[in-house]
Amino acid sequence: MAGRTGPQKAEEPVNYDIRDIDDQQTWDEFVTAHQEANFLHAWQWGEFHASRGRAIVRRGAFDGTRLVGVYTGHVEPAKRGQHLQIVGGPIVDWDNRPLLKAIVADIRAQAVSHDCIYARIRPQLEKSETSLALMKSLGLRPAPMYLSVEMAGVLDLHKSEEQILEGMRQRLRRALRKAAKLNIAVETSTDPADIHQFYQIQLQTAERHQFVAFSEEFLSKQFAAFAADNNAVLYTAKHDGEILAQNFMIFYGNEASYHYGVSTKLGTKLSGAPLLHMHAMRDARERGIKRYNFWGIVDEHDTNHRFYGVSVFKRGFGVDELRYTPAHDLVIKRFAYLKNFVIETLRRKSRNV
């Protein structure tokens, strides 16, 4: 579940000390204590971007000696000017207005120090009229382009496997029975070298579904960053030794995230993907995780969206919709930002996303 806003607390003058955090244990203990957080604010997320040569920011707000809020981001280079990306955060009490103001001021200072045109923030905050009004009051404006997932499909793993099966669409239950009949096997790996095969199948999947594939380097570095702490697992469904489907899962805090998935042509016929999700859910429970995030879905009526088909598959598991407050921008250089705003607006319309 994302964070929520409630009645605003009375503003009291507090001098927060906001500074770099360089200790992973301090960082992860704070982030994972917040039920809404996921891997987008994990320490490893910053390590992944650092491995790509990006400047990263990890900042913590202290009230005396007590850590009360954090945010992480990276500087993304672009021809039109670089910007600071903060996704899935800050992790903070969204009802504490003085703290929010202090963190936004610090984000501005970090963006300026890295010569950014703007900072783009996709909060880990459930979308509501209150959350949108809060963004505006903090000096943020709606971004012309999304930053990570804006609507996700989530399952409550407090439910038993039997309850989840009951909530599934009949087509998926049939696929699971077929997988059992065909003796489809599931293998797991935490070896980054195995991402090579995943990448090759991703190219096939991208061609079938007409999307731009991630580079092998991008995928392998991301997997390696999380696998180093046993938080990334590659699930593979096989029939008679042939790969049907693979899922790139990330386990962090209270959430298991279905980050990427691919399938072969044979996999589209034998449908090994549902079985991979059931295995990942079992593993999540063993880790004490209570939320399974299928990641991005689109509106049920948005049939022209390029991800509509995969959304139908995810919704078949009986997911609940989780709408995040969409990305907002903190403008630093207004003229350069305006040019970028126009280009991104046109690009989003042309991509139908």
Q: Do domains 17-148+325-351 and 151-323 have the same CATH topology?
A: yes
Per-residue model confidence as pLDDT tens digits over 59-100? 999 999 999 999 999 999 987 789 999 999 999 999 999 999
Amino acid making up residue 114: H
DSSP-derived 3-state class of residue 87 = strand
Q: Model's pTM, two decimal places?
A: 0.90
Does the pLDDT value for residue 1 go beyond 60? Answer: no
CA dist., res. 250 & res. 167, Å (int): 24
pLDDT digits 0-9 by tens, 308-347: 888 888 999 999 999 999 999 999 999 999 988 887 777 7
> Rounded mean pLDDT of 280-288?
97
The CATH number that domain 17-148+325-351 falls under is: 3.40.630.30
**pLDDT class for 282, splitting at 50, 70, 90?**
very high
Rounded percentage of the chain residues whose pLDDT exceeds 70: 95
Q: Measured between alpha carbons, how far is 220 from 199 in angstroms, rounded to an integer?
A: 9
DSSP string covering 225-293: HHHTTT-EEEEEEEETTEEEEEEEEEEETTEEEEEEEEE-HHHHHH--HHHHHHHHHHHHHHTT--EEE
- Distance (Å, whole) CA 309 – CA 307: 6
Rounded distance between C-alpha atoms, residue 49 and residue 110, angstroms: 17
- CA 298 to chain centroid, in Å, comes to 15
Measure the CA dihedral 21/23/27/29, to 10°: -150
Residue 205 pLDDT grade (very low, low, confident, very high; cuts 50, 70, 90)? confident
Burial class (CB in 10 A: 0-12, 13-18, 19+), 182: middle
pLDDT score for 347: 74
The stretch 220-246 carries a mean pLDDT of 96
- The pLDDT, as a whole number, for residue 350 is 66
The span from the CA of 273 to the CA of 299, in Å, is: 22
Return the domain boundaries, the chain. 17-148+325-351, 151-323
Task: Determine the pLDDT at residue 7.
Answer: 53
Q: 53 pLDDT exceeds 90?
A: yes
Q: Which CATH number among 3.40.50.300, 3.40.630.30, 3.10.20.30, 3.40.50.1820 corresponds to the domain 151-323? A: 3.40.630.30
> What are 140-178's pLDDT values in tens digits?
999 998 888 889 999 999 999 999 999 999 999 999 999
Report whether pLDDT(10) > 60: no
Q: How far apart are CA 150 and CA 35, in angstroms?
A: 18
